[in-house]
Structure 1
Amino acid sequence: MTDIDQAVTIRRAVADDVTAMLRLIVALAVYEREPDAVKATPESLTATMFGPDAKVFAHVAEQDGAVIGVALWFETYSTWTGAPSLYLEDLFVDPAARGSGAGKALFTALAREAKARGCARIDWAVLDWNRTARGFYTAMGGFHSTGWEPWRIEGEALERLAGA
């Protein structure tokens, strides 16, 4: 575990962070028991996050000059609140840096980003078996939203629907 006294710095990600972010995305996939699920590449991350029409953003946590955590997010919209929402796609801190405060610092930065953008809330999903993450989010005031189930369409079904 990283010494808690070592300073953690949070900043918006830049294109030079792509390699470190992809390393953390792969580590997250391994942690979530889906080691072969990552299809992202440095090129796809660069295009979607730092291209002229970027719609996905990230903050990184650094300690001693190394990226130790990442929070990837984008805006959505709530018709009920009449305001945008910030959707946290992934938050991951390198296991060696857990306990450093990086996770809470990343989430605090997201809360500030949400408020600066006029967002009414932050939404995210947590795997039902990930008690550590659920405890972390609960400790910050997050709660499990009930009644809504995640749904998805992808792959062949998406192709069929699009008429491709």
Structure 2
Amino acid sequence: MSSDVTVRFVTRQDYEQWLPLWDGYNAFYKRSGPTALAGEITAMTWARFFDAYEPVHALVAESGGELLGLTHYLFHRSTTAIEPTCYLQDLFTSEAARGKGVGRALINGVYEQATRAGSSRVYWQTHETNHTAQLLYDKVAEKSGFIVYRKIF
């Protein structure tokens, strides 16, 4: 399937197909019920993709007019480099597209955009229980060994 997949920037016309993928991603990470993302967060996320002043970007994987996956990434400054650093924040493929090269194609799309932006580093995180995704990630990147800490207010 991966040879039939096109990775491209999201367009405003993609919203109706992007939204179920976004909802699927959030459901996968159990962001439903009391922990669900508020509708205004989804609306703002979508708007940011089309705001030239925002560092947040979106790519989609498409085949035959159907969106199969999405990735969202952003650029930020770092105290250890002059060039921007790329954080791949979200990656999700439809269940039917899994294991067919769509996730790899989306990651490679982010790598390409990072290179174009002059970034020499792309990083992301995944949940320790997401073993299926880690099988792919271990092939396309290396584990940094860092542990993530956070505090939510």
TM exceeding 0.5: yes
- 1:51 and 1:72, CA in 2 relative to 1: closer, same or farther beyond 3 A? same
- Higher Rg of the two aligned structures: 1
- Answering whether residue 17 of structure 2 is matched by residue 20 of structure 1, we say yes
Segments of 5+ residues of structure 1 without an aligned counterpart are 158-164
Secondary structure at 2:21 match in 1: helix
Partner of 1:149: 148
Partner of 1:110: 110
Segments of 5+ residues of structure 2 without an aligned counterpart are none
- State how 1:23-102 maps to structure 2 within 5 Å: 23-36=20-33, 37-40=36-39, 43-102=43-102
- Give the RMSD, CA atoms, in angstroms: 2.0
Q: Distance in 1 between matches of 2:15 and 2:45?
A: 7
- Answering whether residue 126 of structure 2 is matched by residue 126 of structure 1, we say yes
* Contact 2:60–2:106 (Cα < 8 Å) also in 1: yes
Aligned AA (2:104): K
Aligned AA (2:130): N
Q: Distance in 2 between matches of 1:54 and 1:18?
A: 18
Percent identical across equivalent pairs? 27
TM normalised by structure 1 equals 0.81
* Contact 1:9–1:61 (Cα < 8 Å) also in 2: yes
Offset, 1:52: 4.6
- 1:128 and 1:5, CA in 2 relative to 1: closer, same or farther beyond 3 A? closer
Secondary structure at 2:4 match in 1: coil
TM normalised by structure 2 equals 0.86
Offset, 1:6: 6.5
- 1:44 and 1:101, CA in 2 relative to 1: closer, same or farther beyond 3 A? same
* Contact 2:2–2:101 (Cα < 8 Å) also in 1: no
- 1:22 and 1:142, CA in 2 relative to 1: closer, same or farther beyond 3 A? farther
